[in-house]
Amino acid sequence: MALDMDRKRNYVPEDLLAKVPAAIAMVEGSSYIFRFTNPLYQEVFGKKDYLGKPGREVFPEFNSQGIWSIFDKIFSSGEAFIGKEMPIELDRKGDGKLEMCYFNLVVQPIKKHGVVKRLLIHAVEKTDLVLAKRQIKEDELAYKHLADSMPQIVWTAQSDGHVDYYNKKWKEITGIDPNELNNNSWIQILFPGDTSICRETWSHSVNTGDIFEMEARIRTVNTKEPYTWFLIRALPVKNENGTVQKWVGTFTDIHDYKIMQHQKENFLAVASHELKTPVTGIKAYAQILETICRNKGYKEETALLVMMNKQITRLTSLVGDLLDITKIQNGKMEFDESAFDFNELILEATEQMKVTSTQHMIDLELSKGKMVYADRNRIRQVINNLISNAIKYSPDKNKILVRSSSTENDVFLCVDDYGIGIAKDQFEKVFEQFYRVTGDKQNTFPGLGIGLYISSEIIKRQGGKIWVESIEGKGSTFCFTLPVYHIKR
Ligand code: ADP
C-alpha cells in the first residue's frame, strides 16, 4: 500500500519509462530513496530490493567513488548532471566483487515549487564500447611500436592514396616532419627523374588496387649522397568485397645493392670488352697454326689444334654473350634488319650445328617457307642457342627435332629434345638473366645462364614470343614466333 502511494507521487508515466531502452530510476529526497526502477535498470545495476531503500544502502560501493557528492550537488544546485562514458565500479551480482563499468549518465532534478524533490536517473551502459575502443587503441599502439622497431620506413595511406601515417624511421631517414609534406605525399621528395613514373604507377595502383612496387631514389639526410635508392612497396588492405580500405607501405634501403649491381654491370662491360680483342687474336693465330700444321702433314699437332680451336670458339661465344648482356642492360643492342626466308635460315643454322654435333642427329620438319623481317644474325644466334641447349641437356639421347610452321601472321620454330626436361615452375625463370635450374643433374652442365635471356630479349625486340613446354625426365620443347613479313605491292 505504501509502495503504491510512492508510485503515485512520482508524477511520471511509469508504463512509458518501463519501455525506454535505458536504465531509468527515480530517487526521492536527500537520502535518495528509490521510488522507481525500470526493468532495464535492474538488469544493468543488478536485481536488488530497490523500492523504499536509500541509495547508500542499495549501493554501498558508491560511497568511495564520489557518486553521492555528485547527487548532493544536483540536489542543492538544481542543475542536471551529464557524464559521458563515466567509470563506475559496480557490485552487480551482490557478491562483493566490483566490476568496472562505464555509463553515459544523465541525472535530472525534478522540482516542486522550485525546490528539488526527486532525481531522475537515466543511464546507458557503454562498457563494451569503452573496452573495445581501449582495445583498438592498445592494438594501434602495439602496431606503432612494431612499425617503429622496423629498420624500414613504414607508412599507411587511405584508400584514395592519401598518406596518413609514417613510422619514426621516416623522419630519421628523410629529416622531414610528415606534416611538412604537401598532402603528406612522399612523391615530393623523390629524385626528379623518378617522380613521374612513380606518380603514374602509384595512381594506377590506387585506381586498380594492384600492389605497388618500384625502385626509386628519395632525398635523405646523413647519407654520403643526397639521394638514396629504396624499394617502395604498398599492399592494399581489402574488405570481404574486395574493396581497398587502406594501403600499408614500406621503403626498404637497397642503395648498397644498387651500387653493387651497377659496379657488376660496369665490370661485366669492361671485362667482356677487354677480353674480346685478345680472344679474337688468339682465334686467328690458332686457325693459321692449324692450317700450317695440316699442310705440313703434322697429324698429332693438327688434331690438338682442332680441339684447341673448338675451345676457342666456345670462349669467343661466351665473351660475345657477356657483351650482349651489357648491350641489353645499357639499351644498346642494335638490330640490322632485312627481309629473309625463315626456312633458309633454319637450314643454314642447323647445317652449322650438325658439323659441331657428333652425337646428336638433327632432324628437320619444315613447313612452307615464309619471309620475315628481322636481324638474320641475331635470329641465327637464337636458333643456335636453342639447338645447342637441346644437345647439352640431352646427353644420353641422340636425336633433336627442329620444326617450323606458320600462320598468316606468324612463323614458328620449335626445337624438341628428349633430355632431362624442366619443372613447370621454372618455365618462365629459365629466360631470366643468370638463371640456371639447380639440381643434381643440372649442376653437371657447364653454362652461365645467359643464353636464353639473350634469346628472349632478341625475340621480344623483334616482335615475337618465346616459351618452353617440358616434362621433367622426358624432354623439352623451346619455341619462338616472329611476325611474317608481308610484302607491300
Ligand atoms: P646455360 O645453358 O648456359 O645455363 P641458358 O640461359 O641457355 O643458360 O639456360 C638457362 C637454364 O635453363 C639452364 O641452366 C638449364 O637449367 C635450363 N635449360 C635450358 N635449355 C634446356 C633444355 N633444353 N633442357 C633442360 N633444361 C634447359
**Section 273-286 average pLDDT:** 93
The answer to whether domain 3-130 and domain 150-253 are alike in fold is yes
Does 259 have pLDDT greater than 80? yes
- What are the pLDDT digits (tens) for 146-171? 999 999 999 999 999 999 999 999 99
Instruction: Assign 158 to helix, strand or coil.
Output: strand
> Hey, how many other C-beta atoms are within 10 angstroms of the C-beta on 391?
22
* Inter-residue contact 366 to 392 (CB < 8 Å): no
Q: 9: pLDDT confidence band, cut at 50, 70 and 90? A: low
Protein residues whose CB sits closer than 6 Å to any atom of ligand 1: 389-390, 393, 417, 419-422, 430, 435-437, 442, 447-453, 476
**Section 448-455 average pLDDT:** 94
Cell output for 408 = 598468316
* Inter-residue contact 5 to 35 (CB < 8 Å): no
* Inter-residue contact 434 to 451 (CB < 8 Å): no
- What whole-number distance in Å separates Cα of residue 459 and Cα of residue 69? 88
Q: Which protein residue has the closest C-alpha to ligand 1 atom 3? A: 447
- What atom of ligand 1 comes closest to residue 421's alpha carbon? 25
* Inter-residue contact 397 to 459 (CB < 8 Å): no
CB-count exposure of residue 284 (10 Å: 0-12, 13-18, 19+):
exposed
H-helix or E-strand containing 453?
helix 451-461
Structural domain spans, the chain:
3-130, 150-253, 258-329, 337-483
* Inter-residue contact 397 to 371 (CB < 8 Å): no
The CATH fold assigned to 337-483 is: Heat Shock Protein 90 (3.30.565)
Mutate to test the pocket of ligand 1, among 430, 443, 445 (most ligand atoms within 8 A of CB): 430
Q: 422: pLDDT confidence band, cut at 50, 70 and 90? A: very high
Cell output for 156 = 599507411
Q: How many helices (H) does the chain have, and how many strands (E)?
A: 13, 17
- What atom of ligand 1 comes closest to residue 454's alpha carbon? 6
Question: What pairs with residue 347 in β-bridges?
Answer: none
Cell output for 246 = 587502406
Secondary-structure breakdown of the chain: helix, strand, coil percentages, each rounded to the nearest 5: 45, 25, 30
User: φ and ψ at 420, to 5 degrees?
Assistant: -75, -20
Q: 4: pLDDT confidence band, cut at 50, 70 and 90? A: very low
Q: Which protein residue has the closest C-alpha to ligand 1 atom 14? A: 436
CA distances from 345 to 339, 363, 405, 466, 482 (A): 11, 15, 14, 18, 13
Q: What is the CA radius of gyration of the chain?
A: 42
- What whole-number distance in Å separates Cα of residue 75 and Cα of residue 32? 10
- What number does CATH give the domain 258-329? 1.10.287.130
Rounding to the nearest 10 degrees, give the CA dihedral for residues 150, 153, 158, 161: -150
Cell output for 382 = 637464337
**Residue 18: predicted pLDDT:** 75
Question: What pairs with residue 471 in β-bridges?
Answer: 475
Sign of CA dihedral 401, 453, 466, 437: positive
**431 alpha carbon to ligand 1 midpoint, in Å?**
9
**453 alpha carbon to ligand 1 midpoint, in Å?**
10
Q: Which CATH architecture has domain 3-130?
A: 2-Layer Sandwich (3.30)
Does 79 have pLDDT greater than 70? yes
- What whole-number distance in Å separates Cα of residue 257 and Cα of residue 230? 10
How would DSSP label each residue in 304-334?
HHHHHHHHHHHHHHHHHHHHHHHHHHTT---
Q: What is the mean pLDDT of the chain?
A: 92
* Overall pTM surpassing 0.95 (yes/no): no
More confident residue, 448 or 7: 448
Q: Which CATH architecture has domain 150-253?
A: 2-Layer Sandwich (3.30)
Interior/surface letters 53-75, b for 16+ CB within 10 angstroms, e for the rest: bebeebbebbeebebbebbeebb
H-helix or E-strand containing 292?
helix 255-296
